[in-house]
Structure formats: structure tokens, C-alpha cells
Chains A and B, each alone.
Chain A
Amino acid sequence: MLRLFVKTLKTGVVTERFKKPKDSELEQLGIEVKRHIDRCFSGSLAIREVDAGSCNGCELEIHALNNPFYDVERFGIHFVASPRHADVLLVTGPVSRHMQTALLRTYEATPNPKWVIAAGDCAACGGEFGVSYASCGAVANVIPVDVVIPGCPPSPEMLLKGLLGMMR
């Protein structure tokens, strides 16, 4: 137990300061800054992450948001287990046809008002997989998308910028 405390104290706080994204950066992400989002979310954002066919690369970087450097919960952003508890669906991957109904049902299960973020190049445009017998391509081909965060995969900074942009 002593080792544990010693290591914890020795490590200290590694969490980094993160600047609120500028308007120009938000435009880069294709975010229209919606004033009413602020009122709806009151500084708290509950996210349901849905992998709709990704290669798992995006998931690794979304996971990184919870590491002590980014510590996303300090901004009131947390990942929830059910779409019924969520404000936002964070969707990755080209939507595989085998996941199409599951994604539609998850979208329907999310209460209004709700927003959808398509994270990663595949979610944005189909990426390396495109549209085929097995893939619907971009998330926007299946459900309405509000924010697109590009990258293969998007870095934790890009993801954080996109999420904070929604909460302004």
C-alpha cells in the first residue's frame, strides 16, 4: 500500500491545461456554434460511443481522453453506458451494413435533444472502406450528423476540441 501512495505522490498531477478552441479552429471542424446547445447541456455532456464498424484505431484515441493527461471528466464530459442516458452519440467507423440497424436503434433510443458526432475519416467520408456491399460509408449516410472530427485516427486534442466546441 505504501508503494502505491509513494508512486502516486511521486507522479504528481500530469493533467495538462487545455485552451478553449478558437472560432477559427472550430470552423475547421465544421462546427456551427449553436447558442442553444449551451442551455441544453449546462456544462455537462453525456456521450454514448458507438463503434459502427471502425478498425478500433479511433477507439484507442477516444480511450486516451480518459488518461490523466487529458482527463476529460474535468470538463463535465463523461461516457455513459446507455444511449438513453446520452446527449451525444460519438460514432466511429464506416457504418458496416451489419451494424446499420443497431446504429439506427441506438439513435432512436437517445432522447431529444441529441447530437451526433462522426469521429474519424471513415465516419466522415467512408475512409479506406468507402461504400460497398458490406459498408454504408459515412455515418451521415445512415443518421443525421452535426459535427465531424476528421483524422485517421483523430488525435485526442482534435477530439477534445470538437467536444468542447459543442459545449460553448
Chain B
Amino acid sequence: MSHSESNWQTGLLEQLKNRNIPVETSAVSAMPLWKIAAEHWRGAAELAERQSARWVSGWAEQRTGQYELNTVFARSRGYLLLRTTVPEGKAELPSQATVYPAANRSERHTQDMFGIHFLEHPDNRPWLRHKAWKKHQYPLRKDFPLAGEPEKVTAPDMDYQFVKGRGAGVYEIPVGPVHAGIIEPGHFRFQAVGETVLNLEERLGYVHKGIEKNAEGRTAEQLARLAGRVSGDSTVAHAWAACQAMEQAAGMTITPHAAFIRGILTERERIANHMGDIGAICNDVGFAFAQMQFTRLRELWLRNNKQFFAHRLLMDCIVPGGVSCSLTDEACKTLQQELQALKKELGEILPALDLNSSLEDRLLTAGWLSEETAAAFSAVGYVGRASGQDVDARRDAPCPPYDRLNFKVALENQGDVASRLWVRVQEIFASIKLLAQMLEQLPEGETKTAWQTPAADSEGIGIIEGWRGEIVTFVRFTENNQIARFYPRDPSVVNWPTLEKIVMNNIVPDFPVCNKSVNGSYSGHDL
């Protein structure tokens, strides 16, 4: 992975020195790693923010006698890992959430799972913690067993302090965790006047199933399976990010053939999900034609997945060291024809969407996200790219095969539901182009390289552009090929908070279409 264009990092390093903040520099694979003292944790974030760096991800890890805290920043092609440690006896450090709103929930996640206290955090309510583990228990500490000490029936969390609206005519609408449709569980609390939303608060964590804890002690292969189930619709991208991180830790490279197959799988996953979303967004405003056409195209697409890759959603196709499937020349030809057929279908369906005035009426200007808000929350994927955030890991952290392929990153700044829909459309066409190149140039070679046991304590960071956006996955091994720490940062982690801003001043009945236009993963967020 190349991390060039890192001039901002030179500037940042100088400013840190000017502020007398000592920095110990090293690297995790190609990513620069800077270690600083905990007391400068916020100061460093302030300087990074001045360099217009984006907050990417944050996580903690328990090492012997201390906690290690990590933040990844990025600007353009330069990713940077900032690290500090706090002793177990005094687990506290300054919060970065006052500088980066994007860090807010991530720090609350760390607080709930490790019991690390973030000083001057703007919102110290629990986040993932409901009632499944007791006060003063922290599941990701090493002395907390995976089995925990659960009650026979876990009580619902009634203590969460939602923001209340006051004044004449203000009323509250609680929704969830069990929703009316076939979707994942989560709670939404609206404050409304008439039909207008004054405020929305999300309360997530309902599908927390202990993925991070469950990962500990797994082998590389077992972790790839688990990563493929972090979020079922992003199974390929999550499995790839985890495998990339593990391969980095093991110091191994995969064959070009395997890299191309991974690319093909990822772009197929992107097209399948975008088609589903475009249909569903139109359906949320009552335009059934698009829903029927796009679910039909999606079904045909998934059936080809089954035929050529043995799984409709492409689960478990990516394994440590390579892939578990391959394509014959004939299959490549058939898939090329499939691309032509899809283009033709889209050529017939999309004008019917584009020229439909009732669709336009509902989608244009609905659910607006400004560029400033998108930047403050580090929005990624189609949510970010519809609001001017030019971020795409396929271009910014290019691993094979993307370093050899040509494509254009879709970018708009209109920021409404319509824009998020049309960015998806553009991304389908970009993926078709990428698939055509990969099927054309698919190199010969082995599908899998033999797994090498990584050295004890070795770590890796995988960065993959899933269909929802950039996924950043951290992995560390113990000795014996076992996982010590796994933290996948799903794009939903940074995109969920934008939904609260998106629905502001919209009418309550437009919430479903606004929500669908973001389509955050509950499972990928709750872990």
C-alpha cells in the first residue's frame, strides 16, 4: 500500500515539535505510526484538524499493564496512525471529540468496553452499554470472560437520557428497536412539532453480539469467517479488510490472480447493494416500478454470484492468503456479457427515473447534508461523496488490483436524497467499468498463498472501500497464530451521526426515505 502525498504530515510533525510535543515515529507496514504522551492527545488532534486531516477511526487495546489508544487520521492519500498509552491504574486521557465530532461515539464505545475515561468529553452517556453487563464491568478487558455473567433475562435499558424538546406543541415519537419493515433493530427518538422534525436522536447497540471479544483467540481462518459476518451486506469488503490486515501482520503478499478475484467480488457486492438501495429509495416514496425493476436485476445478479462463486452474497469467498474461488476464461466471457446486458437494462430504466416528476418532487432537496457537516462527521462512501467529501479508499489507499485500474470517483455536492441516489447510479457504472477491466486482464496464477504464522504481537491495518464506504480494520496477533485484537471500523460508524442532521427540518413521513438514502448498518456499527 502506498501512502504518498503525505506533505500534511510533515507540516503536522513540525507543529507538534513547535508545541514541544515529543513524537516517537515508526510504522505499521506502510502506515506511519506516531507515539505521543497521553496528555497531548487532544493537542495533537487540534493540530491535525488544522491540517484539514479527517478523523478516520479510533480504538483501544489492553496490553500488559496499560491501555493503548489509537486514532487514524487521513488527508488525501496520506493515512497516519497516532498512538498513546495510559496505565491501567489511571485509565484516563483528554477527549478528541471536542475537536472532531466524529470521535464522539467511538470514544463512548471505548469507554463502555474498556472503562477508559475521556476527560471533558462533550457527551459522557453510555453508548454500546445497555444492561447485558454490569456497572464497573468492561467486556474487552482481558479479565472479563467471553461468557460474562448474564442474567436469565436481560432487562431493557430504561436509563438512557434522551434530549427532550420543550414548549407548546412539541411531542415525542419513540420508534423501535423492532421496526415495521424487514430491517435491523435500533431506536429512534424524534422531537416533532406538527409534521416537522425538530430533533432526532439515535440509540443503537441493540445488535451488539460481542464480535470484538469473540474474535480473540481465533485463528486467521476463523477470523475471516467472523469478519464476513460483521455486516452481511458487506461480507466481501469486511473479509477483505480483515484478511489484508492479517496478511500485513504475517508479512505476506497474495498473488495478482487472487487480488483480481477479490476486486471482482468487491465490485459485484457494490453493484448488488446499490441496485437494492436505488429500488428501495424509490419504493419509500411509492414508486414501485423502480423497486420491481431493480429487485429483478439484483436477483439475476445474485443468481450469477451463486453460479460462478457458489454463494449468492459471496460469503467466505475471501480467505487469508487469497480466495476460495476462481474464474475460467469461459466464465469471464459470460460475466462480460452480463455487464453488457446490465448496461442495456439500466439504459432503459434510468431515463424513466430521471424524467419522473413525482420522484423528483420527493427526492430533490429532501434530507440535505451540508459539506461542512459531512466533513465534521468524516462521512464516507456515497453519503460523503454526495456532500463533496472526495474520499475513496480504492484511489486513496490503493492495493492491488486497484493500483492497476482506471476509474472515476463519483462526486457531487448537492447533498440531498436525490444526490445520494444518483451517486449510487454513477458508482454502478464505475464498477461496471472496473469489472470489465478486471475480467479482461485477469492474470493467471494460484488462488491462495500458504498462510504463514505471524510473529507474536505483529499488527496490521486493512483499508478497503466497501460498497458503503471505507472500511478500516485493525488486527493484532498473539503467539500461536491467534487473534489478540480485532477492530473493524464499518463506514456506518461515521455515517450514522449524519442521519440525525439529515432529517432535521424534514417531515416525519420522509424519515424512511432519508434513512434508506444513508442505509447505515446496525450490525456493523454495534459489533
Contact = CB atoms under 8 A, between A and B. Distances in A.
Interface of A: 3-4, 6-8, 10-11, 14, 49-64, 66-69, 79, 81-83, 93-94, 96-102, 104, 106, 127-136, 152-153, 155
Interface in B496-527: 521-523, 526
* Most chain A CB neighbours (cut-off 10 Å) among B133, B206, B225, B351: B206
B348 A56 contact: no
A63 B320 CA distance: 31
B interface, size bucket: 35 or more
B146 to A, nearest CB: 5
Contacts of B87: none
Contacts of B235: 55, 57
Contacts of B154: 97-98, 100-101
B130 A98 contact: yes
B229 interface: yes
Given A57-B235, A57-B315, A98-B157, A4 B352 contact: yes
B450 interface: no
B315 to A, nearest CB: 7
* Most chain A CB neighbours (cut-off 10 Å) among B178, B183, B526: B178
A104 B177 CA distance: 13
Contact of A52 (B185, B205, B229): B185
Interface string B414-442: 00000000000000000000000000000
Contacts of A101: 153-156
Contact of A66 (B232, B295, B349): B295
B448 interface: no
Contacts, number: 178
Contact of A55 (B178, B231, B348, B356): B231
B6 interface: no
A60 B276 CA distance: 9
Contact of A63 (B147, B182, B211, B213): B182
Given A94-B209, A98-B205, A133 B232 contact: no
A132 B210 contact: yes
Contacts of B521: 56
* Most chain B CB neighbours (cut-off 10 Å) among A49, A106, A127, A128: A128
A56 to B, nearest CB: 4
A59 B280 CA distance: 14
Given A68-B295, A98-B206, A102-B185, A133 B153 contact: no
Contact of A51 (B130, B156, B183, B225): B183
Which 6 residue pairs spanning A and B have beta carbons closest together? A133-B148, A57-B232, A134-B210, A67-B295, A81-B180, A97-B132
A60 B315 contact: no
A22 to B, nearest CB: 22
20 contacts: A3-B351, A7-B349, A53-B185, A53-B206, A53-B209, A55-B229, A56-B184, A56-B233, A68-B296, A93-B207, A98-B207, A101-B154, A102-B177, A128-B225, A128-B229, A132-B209, A132-B210, A132-B214, A133-B144, A134-B133
A64 B297 CA distance: 11
Contacts of B183: 51, 59
Given A97-B132, A128-B226, A153 B232 contact: yes
B352 A96 contact: no
A98 B232 contact: no
B289 interface: yes
Contacts of B125: none
